[in-house]
A and B are shown apart, each in its own frame.
Chain A
C-alpha cells in the first residue's frame, strides 16, 4: 500500500507540463495554445510534419525562445527559462543536431568542461571527475574517458554529449533528430543509451521523422499539426503507423489547384542512374511545361538531386537536358538554361549585403554589359521591371537584401533565375520561411512559368506544397526515388507518408 501511494504521488508529479503555450511570429502563429504533460522517466516522442510547431516548442523548452503566452512547469514548479543557460541550470539538457564537443580534448575533459566554474565550483576536481566517469560508465561503458574525442565516431561523440548533460544533473534531455547522421548499428547503440538514461531517472524528449524509431523507443507520443496539439497518448494505444500518420496530416489537404497529371510535352530532362555519396540510382524524366515535385524528409536526397543536375556536386550517371551533355558547373548549367533556387536562401541564393538592384542580374550579369562595361541604367530598369513583375514589396531597388522579409528575399532569388532566361527551374524548398501571402504569390508565379512552357522541379519537405502545385511527385527516401505518383484528388496521403518514412515502396 505504501508503495502504491508513493507511486501515485510520483505519477502526479509530471516531469514537464505545458499549459496553453503560444508563440506568435509576425503574421504567423507557430504554436497555438498547446497543452500536454510528459511523465517522469519516460521517452516522450514529439511528431508532426515540417512546420507543425515541434521545433518552436523545443526552442521554448530550451530557453532559446520566449513564449508569447502560456506556461511551463518542471516537477510542478514554474519553469521560465530566459536563456539556454537558465534551461541547463533548471535541469533541461539538449542534444543538438550539430555537436558541441571539442575534438582536441579528451572525453573526460569534455565532460568536465566549464563545470568547475558554473555548477560544481565548490567540488574538488577529482570528485567531479569521479562522478562524471561514473555517469559515462553507466550509460556507455565502452567509451574510454581518456580517449581523445577526435578519435570517436559521430555516434560516440553524441553519447559524450548526452553524458555531459546527464552528469551536469539534467533531469530532462531533449534530442532533436539524433539519428540523422547515424548508421543502423549506431542507432541501436544510441537507443540502448536512451533506455539506460530513462532507467536512471532521466526523462527523454525525442523528436524524429522516422516513425519506426518512435514505435521502437517511445513510451508516449505527442502529435502536433499546424501549430496545434492534436493528441498525447501512450504509443501502446496507437494503432500502428496509419493512425499516427492520420493524426499528423489530418483529413484533407486543400487543393486550389487542379493537378494535370503527366503533361504530354517533349521530355526536356532525362536522368538515368544518378548516384553519389548520398544518391542511389536515381532515374526520372521531366517534360516541357510540367511541374514535378520531389518529396521526402530532411536527408532523403532531394537537395542532392537538384545540385547534381545543376552541376554543383559531382555524381555518376546520365543527365540529359534537351539533348545536351550534363553541366560540369553551375555556370554551364545556366548557359544550358537551367537555374537553381538553392535550399539556403540567405547563404546560397542571395547576396544579403548587396542591394536588390545588384542581386537581380547576377546570374546573367554579362547581359547588362557591353564590352565588359556595366550599364548601370539598364540594371536599374531591369531591377524595377522585376520588382514590379514579382511584386517585391520594397520602396526602393537600392534596399539591401538582408532588410527584406523572407518572402521578398525569395522573390529576389526567383528574379535572378528568371533574368537568367532559364528553360528549367530547380526550386529547392521554395517557400521555406515564407509567409502565407507571399507563398501563394510564388505558387502563382510557378504556374505561370509552367504554362509558358518551362519545366519546373520542386524539391520540398512539405507535403502540402508538393500536392498543392505539382503534376507528378517523386517520393524519396534514403537517396532513392521510392515511388512516383500522379497528383490528383485520389492521392493516398497515408501511403505517401509511409513511403517517405521508410515504410516500403510500391508504385501507385
Chain B
C-alpha cells in the first residue's frame, strides 16, 4: 500500500537521495510516531488528524498517533513503543522528561529521528517544537487585569490558576507569564497560585465551588485547558457566577487554553465571564512538528545538539477585546475545519 506513495515521494527526491546515501531508511515513505498528551482534547484531535493528512500528502509518510491519555506513565511507555514498532522518526509529547530520557536515548542509538513537542527532553539535545504560549498568557493576563480595573477600580485583583502545578512547561508557558501579565497592569494584584485539576472537569468544577465559596474575592481565573474550562464554568454557574453584564465584568473574568468552537460561543457572548483563550493552532502545530522531523532527515537541523534547539510556532490570543468575532470564526474554520 505504501508503494503507491512512491510517485508522490518524487517531490522529495533530494531528501531521499540524501537519506538513501545514509542507507538508514527505506525509500517508500516513513513511519512517524506522533505523540499527543491527551486525545480527549479537541486540540489534540485536530492536531493528530492534520498530522496524518499533512505528512501523507506532503511527504508520503505514515503517521501513527500515540495517545498519552493525560498520564505521564503512559507517555513514557509509548516512547519504548517507538523502537519496538519500527518507526523511522518520532515527535514526542512527554510530561515527565526524566523518565522518558532512557527510551529516547535508545531510539537515538537505533538511528531513529527523535524530536519533541512542547517540552525539551532533558539533556538528550533533540530539537523541540513549541508554541509560543508565554507571550499569549502574558497578553491575556494583562488584558483581563485592565478590563477588571476599568470596571471595578476599587476591588483588588485576586487571581488563581487551575491546571498542573507541578508541570514545568505549563508553569513557564501559562501559569507564570499569566501572573506577570496581570502584575504588569496592577502590581498590587494578589496571586493565590495554581491548583491541581489534573483529574479533569469534575475536579475543576469541585475546586471552583470550594475555592470561591471560601474566597469569593477571587476575580481572575486562568483555566489552563479547554476541558477544565467546562468544569470551571459549570462550577461558577452553580455558585450563581460566571456572568458578564453586556460586556462588563461582574464577579470574575476567566481565561482558557485551547480555544475551540464551544469556547467561541462563550468568549463572544457579552454575558459570559469567559473572555479570552489561547488559540493553539493545531494545523500549524502539526505541520510544524512534521516539518521539523523532515528538516532533521534533510540535514537542515542537527539530530542532537548540546542544548536542545527550540523552534517556536505562533500561538494566538483569542480575546473578546482584541480579536473580532469574525476573525475568530475564520481562525476556527482554518484550524479545525469548521
Q: Do chains A and B touch in the complex (CB under 8 A)?
A: no
Which residues of B pack against A, CB within 8 Å?
none
